[in-house]
């Protein structure tokens, strides 16, 4: 099923005089078997994290360039991997610990102090993200997880410092290497996902935002990203909370007025034409 985002992108790509074909996973069989001419470029928009990485890897192995790359998608789909590569690369990021057991969750919270956040390493729209305010909260979280996952198969989880936000966080859309729009996601709740009802308001792309986005792209490579930033309410310090390799943009574009689909299509057209083939898939 094509979402409004993909429909906008298809129209914008065709405006660039590109031949565009929509492909589901089964359609890749002919391409990876080398029985059909490969596309100049493949735009990976699978909702499934597993399918997105799998499609990108197989296409890359046949010589097809993908946006985003399989390595970028893999890192973006795993908050734990993001924490590791950001720490190694010096990207400002909330202090984070992997926990592979309930005891390690307790140890991480002891190190971070209250409140702390525990989240699945993979997930979208704020699902499974829990703020732990005290020992009672931690015990309740552990009790719920033990009843739903007695074998501990849903580990590891990420235990992270809680950053007190000024009522909003930031989502920055990056195309290639360029941040094209920044929005505040405003909510009275501590989670500020738009799927949970946060209000969207356009804001200025500051030098600090540009610098953080450049650091992210240096780590992941050029591509199409939704970079989530969070400011500490007390210090004002801005950190990269996480990066999405498949950001939605249709609903927010209607509010902030930036034609994300057009910007993305122009970037993709440049990448496709580098291969001297007027097609995109």
| 87-124: burial string, b at 16+ Cβ within 10 Å, e else | eeeebebbbbbbbeebebbbebbeebeeebbbbbbeee
| 182-203: burial string, b at 16+ Cβ within 10 Å, e else | bbbbbbeeebbbbeeebebeee
- pLDDT tens for the 281 residues of the chain, in order: 789 999 999 999 999 999 999 999 999 999 998 888 899 999 999 999 999 999 999 999 999 999 999 999 999 999 999 999 999 999 999 999 999 999 999 999 999 999 999 999 998 767 889 999 999 999 999 999 999 888 888 999 999 999 999 889 999 999 999 999 999 999 877 666 666 567 889 999 999 999 999 999 999 999 999 999 999 998 989 999 999 999 999 988 988 999 999 999 999 999 998 875 544 44
Separation of alpha carbons 41 and 64, rounded Å: 6
pTM of the model: 0.91
Separation of alpha carbons 225 and 101, rounded Å: 31
Question: 238 near 92, Cβ under 8 Å?
Answer: yes
Residue 157's CB is within 10 A of a number of other CB atoms, namely 25
Cβ neighbors of 6 (< 8 A, separation 6 or more) are 22, 45
What are the φ/ψ torsions at residue 41 (nearest 5 degrees)?
A: -155, 145
């Amino acid at each position: 099923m094509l979402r409004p985002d993909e429909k906008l992108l298809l129209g914008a790509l065709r405006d660039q005089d590109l031949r565009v074909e929509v492909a589901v996973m089964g359609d890749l069989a002919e391409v990876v078997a080398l029985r059909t001419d490969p596309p100049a470029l493949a735009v990976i928009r699978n909702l499934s994290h597993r399918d997105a990485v799998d499609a990108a890897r197989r296409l890359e192995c046949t010589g097809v360039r993908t946006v985003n790359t399989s390595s970028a998608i893999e890192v973006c789909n795993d908050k734990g991997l993001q924490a590791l590569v950001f720490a190694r690369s010096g990207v400002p990021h909330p202090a984070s610990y992997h926990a592979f057991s309930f005891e390690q969750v307790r140890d991480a919270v002891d190190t971070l102090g209250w409140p702390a956040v525990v989240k699945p390493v993979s997930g979208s729209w704020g699902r499974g993200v829990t703020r732990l305010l005290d020992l009672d909260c931690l015990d309740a979280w552990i009790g719920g997880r033990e009843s739903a996952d007695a074998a501990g198969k849903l580990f590891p989880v990420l235990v992270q410092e809680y950053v007190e936000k000024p009522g909003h966080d930031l989502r920055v859309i990056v195309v290639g290497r360029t941040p094209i729009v920044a929005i505040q996601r405003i909510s009275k709740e501590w989670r500020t996902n738009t799927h949970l009802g946060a209000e969207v308001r356009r804001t200025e792309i500051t030098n600090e935002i540009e610098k953080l986005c450049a650091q992210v792209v240096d780590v992941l490579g050029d591509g199409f990203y939704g970079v989530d930033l969070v400011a500490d309410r007390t210090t004002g310090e801005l950190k990269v909370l996480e990066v999405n390799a498949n950001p939605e943009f249709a609903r927010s574009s209607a509010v902030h007025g930036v034609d994300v689909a057009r910007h993305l299509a122009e970037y993709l057209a440049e990448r496709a034409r580098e291969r001297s083939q007027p097609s995109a898939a």
